[in-house]
Amino acid sequence: MTQQPGRGRPTGRPRRPFGVQGDTWPVQSNPVTTRLADIAAQAGVSEATVSRVLNGKPGVAATTRQSVLAALDVLGYERPVRLRQRSAGLVGLITPELENPIFPALAQVIGQALTRQGYTPVLATQTPGGSTEDELTEMLVDRGVAGIIYVSGLHADTTADMQRYEQLRAQGVPFVLVDGFSPKVQAPFISPDDRAAMTLAVTHLSSLGHTRIGLALGPKRFVPVQRKIEGFVRAMQDTLGLNAETVEQDMVQHSLYTLEGGQAATMALIDRGCTAVVCASDMMALGAIRAARQRGLSVPHDISVVGFDDSPLIAFTDPPLTTVRKPVPAMGQAAVRTLLEEIGGTPAPHSEFVFMPELVVRGSTASAPR
């Protein structure tokens, strides 16, 4: 995984080697003591602690040592050779695409967690007309990866052949599956609680007086979609006393997980009299806001919109988006921890680790229009 420009260190110039114990510094300015002070201030520790870390001396807590190394990275210094972590192997990460910002966010969490454990993450992304999941898997296996993490892969598609994962297991390659459970695959799964997410959204909107609430989401063959429908229908029953069949027929609209998909689905839901729309992704929610404006409606005064994911920068949209936050840090770290246990010879049981989402209320929801 490559570091993005502007993240972690100054751009436009190479990292500067940090000199300790006789190492030389090729730039004329700033004595070593000044650099120690800068790093100490960035890490929130003493200069003596920085010196002990840079010289590889014992007696420093692991978290403190990590803070000092992170400060080096942020300030643009190279780590001394003695501190550069040797790779314990490659770990593949396969994602469906990177246009939806939630996937880069999850990839970053997983990549950082792997790096801290000494592994080198290899990001493999599917693109329209490009390599398939099976081709990417074969490429990673040929390169001798220690394991693979799949995010929203074919395991989430109820129409896909799950035999591909059993064949991978037969090859002795450990793997973990994120988003989308299948009882046919003997592997650990990491998922958000999609049903609970819909309960959070519907409860919030009904408390604002909305009774015509629509759900915009992707194709029905995907496990997360099916779970969101189940949670939505149950919440509409419990909260508003509506008939389950009526809810699923009149208030659920399938489309694509894109801005355009959210726009099309919301147009249909507005035509059915919905005053609020819950979307299965933040990208779809942005499309919902566009659809409302094309109809001459104001968000949130005429129609409320709720997203799902809490993608990076989504709080800065116009209006700031109310959304259900996907527990990305917890899920990413759990995926890495579970995979490393598999690699270490203590595989997790065939089970699903489910993480609770959180409602984040911002400016795209308000009281139902009179």
Q: What is the pTM of this model?
A: 0.78
Q: What is the pLDDT of residues 117-150, one digit of tens each?
A: 989 999 999 877 888 999 999 999 999 999 999 9
For residue 105, the tally of other CB atoms under 10 A from its CB is 18
Q: What is the pLDDT of residues 238-292, one digit of tens each?
A: 999 999 999 999 999 999 999 999 999 999 999 999 999 999 999 999 999 999 9
Which whole number is the average pLDDT over 60-64? 82
Q: Which of 26-35, 264-273, 313-322, 345-354 has the lowest mean pLDDT?
A: 26-35
pLDDT reading at 66 higher than 90: no
pLDDT for 263: 98
List, in order of start, the domains of the chain with CATH numbers: 16-83 (1.10.260.40), 90-192+328-355 (3.40.50.2300), 194-326 (3.40.50.2300)
The residue that leads in pLDDT, 99 or 350, is 99
Residue 277's beta-bridge partner residues? 214, 305
pLDDT band at 26 (very low <50, low <70, confident <90, very high): very low
